[in-house]
Amino acid sequence: MSSETAQVSSLPLPPMQYINFYTDENVRRNRAPLPPRPIHDTYSMFGNVFNADDTIIRSLESQGFRRLYPMHFERRRELKKLNHSLLVNFLDLLDLLVHCPDSPKRAEKVEDLSLLFIHIHHLLNEFRPHQARETLRVMMELQKRQRVETAMRFQKHLDKVQDILQNALQNPCYELDYIMCNVVDNMR
């Protein structure tokens, strides 16, 4: 095994063309390209057109799906109900495929399963902002704890250094140094 450690990044490296533009020399001489301007109108991503003012999580109705649960609901309960419905519909589809594989109800069951998966996915995505806030809160608490621990270690070292200096100022000669000083003084 090599004694060298490999660095791993959670993100891929940027394209070489950008790396070459942002050298220390180019940045120092203000020759690095400016960052892209913020998007104000519409943009296209993966073939879909999005408006910059759109909400992050669009409603099911705006995406063309009928809503299976009421407007005001308890998310945990609805997720459990959707999960149960998904399981029941999947078992119904299996039963249908075993007894009558060519039935036209098969497409209907597959469509029902698809709609249930879309609703579950949508409910889970509504938790994303909360998850992001919680992740940031946990990260900030960890950083705070690390900083407090570092400050406490620094304070301990500072106290030790101050004690050593204080002792050195109060006792300019250690015992052996004091004996040696007396020997030297007596030689004169």
Is residue 55 in a domain? yes
Q: Is the pTM of this model over 0.95?
A: no
Note whether residue 2 is domain-resident.
Answer: no
Question: Per DSSP, what are the bridge partners of residue 43?
Answer: 50
Residues 144-184 have pLDDT tens digits of: 999 999 999 999 999 998 988 887 777 666 666 667 677 76
Question: Could you tell me if residue 147 is inside a domain?
Answer: no
Task: Please give the distance of CA 33 from its chain centroid, rounded to a whole number.
Answer: 28
Residue 54 covered by a domain: yes
Does the residue 9 lie in any domain?
Answer: no
Distances (CA, A) of 52 to 18, 45, 46, 92, 94: 26, 12, 15, 42, 43
Structural domain containing residue 109: 16-131+157-186
Number of domains in the chain: 1
**Residue 151 in domain:** no
In a domain, 139, yes or no: no
110 within domain boundaries:
yes
Taking only the tens place, the pLDDT of each residue in 114-138 is: 999 999 999 998 888 889 999 999 9
